[in-house]
């Protein structure tokens, strides 16, 4: 369970960005989490609630954009798949498939409030 | 509309920078660095004991070992007369690049051919942290069950080498090796799979040769 460590890193960077923009409170943070990032979105949201208590991000929403990995046949192109279900070989030609994407673990956007300004 | 700032950077940016600094250092020192990841009990330390016994005399090696508590694993390596440094994570489930930087300062290994980093026993969390290694190696033992790769796809998709350990138990435990190898190849078509037993020595020659080739390639 390293989601707490990950949530703390998100918080640290978000607070830096808040300070750079002269903001007072973090309202929403958007992150991208790939299927092969080894991070569980649900646990990350729980961790976010815990690590933000008592600071400028308390009560803010952590929006997790889940990015599935893609399986691609070098000849026939992308193969349709559901997250968690892995296709062993290309459904059309039987060739081994490549795995692309899904390793993202990115901070995407921070939405904040500036004191004295109406949201 | 509240103001927003677009960021687009890695969440583990600080770790990435520390890992890049380590990678530059290992390149200058021409040291091959291997990050070993598995569940607890898959046989990381036993594999290292057998590996180091084969490489000693030929190559200068050292081991950094991550554990939540105790010096037991580092002690096992030191008993072979080889340098080892234990990183105690105090509860954390993985090593990060800054811990490796700190440990290297304290360990003072000197010039090395191969540095092995034995990560904390955990098939999930260590996956996210780059330690500046040349490649990750995942170990899966025959006693763990043959559905692990699809259950923990992130590490199997990333590790350049997958070692199926304790293969001396083949035929004794229910473990469909071919099915596991198919799962690993699906997740990582360019990865390499080796069957090894530290106990009988099966596959150890191929594994050690793989390390020597990787070292030669780094120095070429």
Q: Where do the domains of chain A lie?
A: 3-67+102-113
- From the annotation, which residues of A make up the binding site for Ni(2+)? 2
Q: Does B56 touch chain A (CB under 8 A)?
A: no
DSSP B127-150: GG---S-SEEEEEEETTS-TTHHH
Phi, psi (deg, nearest 5) at residue B64: -105, 125
Confidence of residue A117 (pLDDT cuts 50, 70, 90): low
d(CA B44, CA B42): 6
Q: What is the pLDDT of residue B45?
A: 97
pTM attached to this predicted model? 0.94
In the prediction, which pLDDT does A116 show? 66
- The whole-chain average pLDDT of chain A stands at 95
* Helix pair B204-219, B44-55: axis angle to 10 deg: 70
Chain A neighbors of B7, CB-CB under 8 A: 13, 17, 106-110
pLDDT one-digit tens code per residue, B112-129: 999 999 999 999 999 999
Query: Mean pLDDT, to the nearest integer, of B136-148?
Result: 96
- Most A CBs within 10 A among B2, B4, B9, B11, hence the mutation to make, goes to B11
Average pLDDT score over residue span A88-114: 96
For residue A119, is pLDDT > 80?
A: no
Q: Tell me, what's the ipTM?
A: 0.91
Chain A: nearest CA to B65, how far in angstroms?
19
The confidence score (pLDDT) of residue A118 equals 52
- Res. B103: pLDDT tops 90: yes
B44 touching chain A per CB within 8 A = no
State the average pLDDT for chain B.
96
- Is A88 in contact with B8 (Cβ distance < 8 A)? no
Residue boundaries of the structural domains of chain B: 13-219
Task: List the single residue in B128, B182, B185 with the smallest CB-CB distance to A105.
Answer: B128
When pLDDT is averaged across residues B186-196 and rounded to a whole number, the result is 97
Residue B91 in contact with partner chain A when CB distance is under 8 A: no
**Long-range pairs, A85-91, Cβ under 8 A, ≥24:** A86/B150, A86/B153, A86/B183, A86/B186, A86/B187, A87/B186, A88/B182, A88/B186
Q: Which residue from A27, A15, A50, A51 is spatially nearest to A117, judged by alpha carbons?
A: A27
B90, burial (CB in 10 Å: exposed 0-12, middle 13-18, buried 19+)? exposed
Residue A1: predicted pLDDT: 72
| Residue B11, min C-alpha distance to chain A (Å) | 5
| Banded model confidence at residue A72, pLDDT cuts 50, 70, 90 | very high
Cross-strand bridge partners of residue A79: A71
Q: Give the residue among B17, B86, B93 at the shortest CA–CA distance from A39.
A: B93
Cα separation, A67 vs B117, in Å, equals 30
Residues B164, B197: Cα–Cα separation, whole Å: 8
Contact residues on chain A for B150, CB-CB shorter than 8 A: 86
Q: How far apart are CA A101 and CA B77, in angstroms?
A: 38
Task: Tell me if A108 and B153 make a contact (CB, 8 A cut-off).
Answer: no
The Cα B69–Cα B114 span in angstroms is 25
Mean pLDDT, rounded, for B146-169: 97
- CA–CA gap between residue B28 and residue A78 (Å, rounded): 40
Instruction: Please compute the mean of the pLDDT values over residues B90-98 and round it to a whole number.
Output: 92
Q: What is the CATH number of domain A3-67+102-113?
A: 3.30.2320.50
The answer, yes or no, to whether residue B169 has pLDDT greater than 60, is yes
- Please check whether residue B156 is in contact with residue B149, taking contact to mean a CB–CB distance below 8 angstroms: yes
Q: Looking at residue B145, what is its pLDDT?
A: 87
* Per-residue pLDDT tens digits for B54-81: 998 999 999 999 999 999 999 999 999 9
Cross-strand bridge partners of residue A28: A61, A111
Average pLDDT over residues A90-116: 95
Name the 3-class secondary structure at A102.
coil
Average pLDDT over residues A47-58: 98
Let me know: does B129 contact B12? Beta carbons within 8 Å: yes
Strand (E) or helix (H) holding A44: helix A41-51
Q: How much is the average pLDDT of B21-37?
A: 98
* Calpha distance B62→B19 (Å, rounded): 19
Among B2, B86, B109, B74, smallest CA distance to A118 is for B2
Instruction: Assign a CATH topology to domain B13-219.
Output: Rossmann fold (3.40.50)
Whether B61 has its CB under 8 Å from any CB of chain A: the answer is no
**Nearest CB to A2; choose among B9, B94, B183:** B94
Beta carbons of A38 and B13 less than 8 Å apart: no
Flag if B157 and A31 touch (Cβ within 8 Å): no
Q: What residues of chain B lie within 8 A of the CB of A86, using their CB?
A: 150, 153, 183, 186-187
pLDDT at A64 over 80: yes
């Amino acid at each position: 369970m390293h989601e707490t460590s990950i949530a703390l890193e998100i918080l640290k960077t978000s607070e830096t960005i808040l300070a750079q923009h002269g903001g007072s409170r973090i309202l929403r943070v958007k992150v991208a989490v790939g299927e092969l990032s080894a991070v569980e979105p649900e646990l990350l949201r729980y961790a976010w609630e815990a690590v933000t208590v008592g600071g400028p991000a308390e009560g803010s929403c952590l929006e997790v954009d889940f990015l599935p990995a893609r399986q691609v046949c070098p000849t026939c192109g992308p193969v349709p798949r559901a997250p968690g279900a892995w296709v062993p070989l290309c459904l059309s030609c039987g060739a081994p498939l490549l795995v692309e994407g899904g390793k993202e673990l990115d901070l995407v956007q921070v939405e904040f409030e500036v004191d004295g300004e109406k949201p | 509309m509240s103001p927003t700032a677009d960021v687009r950077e890695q969440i583990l940016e600080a770790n990435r920078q520390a890992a890049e600094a380590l990678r530059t250092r290992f390149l200058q020192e021409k040291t091959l660095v291997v990050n070993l990841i598995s569940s607890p009990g898959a046989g990381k330390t036993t594999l290292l004991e057998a590996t180091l016994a084969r490489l000693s005399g030929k190559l200068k090696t050292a081991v950094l070992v991550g554990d939540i508590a105790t010096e037991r694993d580092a002690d096992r390596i030191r008993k072979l007369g080889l340098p080892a440094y234990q990183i105690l994570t105090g509860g954390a489930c993985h090593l990060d690049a800054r811990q490796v930087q700190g440990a290297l300062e304290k360990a003072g290994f000197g010039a090395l051919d191969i540095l092995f980093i034995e990560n904390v026993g955990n098939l999930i969390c260590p996956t996210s942290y780059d330690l500046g290694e040349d490649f990750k190696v995942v170990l899966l033992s025959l006693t763990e069950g043959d559905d692990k790769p699809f259950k923990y796809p992130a590490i199997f998709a990333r590790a350049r080498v997958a070692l199926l350990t304790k293969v001396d138990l083949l035929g004794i435990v229910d473990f469909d090796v071919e099915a596991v190898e198919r799962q690993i190849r699906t997740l990582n078509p360019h990865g390499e799979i080796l069957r090894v037993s530290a106990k009988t020595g099966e596959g150890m020659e191929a594994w050690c040769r793989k390390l020597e080739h990787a070292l030669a390639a780094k120095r070429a």
